[in-house]
């Protein structure tokens, strides 16, 4: 079975500091991995995705994530936090042989302190 674990339901960083949001997955076959962002009162939008090409994936708004198979991780990073990055972030996994489902983590709420 597939699952996603996001460590830390709330993360606070100072403006300009490194953002690190953690995601670990469980999958018996190579997965597709995604990070989505949800701003208040909005739906989710894609930040970036890993689909078995380069292990370091660059996304929108300066975010990137690295797929580490040995650690079953797909952590999201950004070198310098902006106030506009305050939002809820979701990691998700899907595999093509599971009956076509997405599995989302429980989310991490990012607060950026001025």
Partner 1 sequence: EAQVTQNPRYLITVTGKKLTVTCSQNMNHEYMSWYRQDPGLGLRQIYYSMNVEVTDKGDVPEGYKVSRKEKRNFPLILESPSPNQTSLYFCASSFSPANTEAFFGQGTRLTVV
- Report the C-alpha gap between 74 and 63 in whole angstroms: 12
- For position 64 contacting partner 1 by CB under 8 A, the verdict is no
Nearest to 53 by CA among 23, 25, 32, 70: 32
- For position 40 contacting partner 1 by CB under 8 A, the verdict is no
Minimum distance of partner 1 from residue 8's CB (angstroms): 13
Q: Which helix (H) or strand (E) holds 46?
A: strand 44-50
Among 42, 55, 61, 111, binds partner 1 (CB under 8 A): 42
Minimum distance of partner 1 from residue 111's CB (angstroms): 16
Nearest to 108 by CA among 48, 51, 24, 2: 24
Nearest to 37 by CA among 90, 92, 110, 100: 90
Stretch that binds partner 1, among 18-26, 63-71, 77-85, 88-96 (CB under 8 A): 88-96
Write out the residues near partner 1 by the rule CB under 8 A.
6, 9, 32, 34, 36, 41-46, 49, 51, 90, 94-96, 99-107
């Amino acid at each position: 079975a597939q699952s996603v674990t996001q460590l830390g339901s709330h993360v606070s960083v100072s403006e300009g500091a490194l953002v690190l949001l953690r995601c670990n997955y469980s999958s018996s076959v190579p997965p597709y991995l995604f990070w989505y962002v949800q701003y208040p009162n909005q739906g989710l939008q894609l930040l970036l995705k890993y689909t078995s090409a380069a292990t370091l994936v660059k996304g929108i708004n300066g975010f990137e994530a690295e797929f580490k198979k040995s650690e079953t991780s797909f952590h999201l990073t950004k070198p310098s936090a902006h106030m506009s990055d305050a939002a809820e972030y979701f990691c998700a996994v899907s595999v093509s042989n599971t009956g076509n489902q997405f599995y989302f983590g429980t989310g991490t709420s990012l607060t950026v302190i001025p």
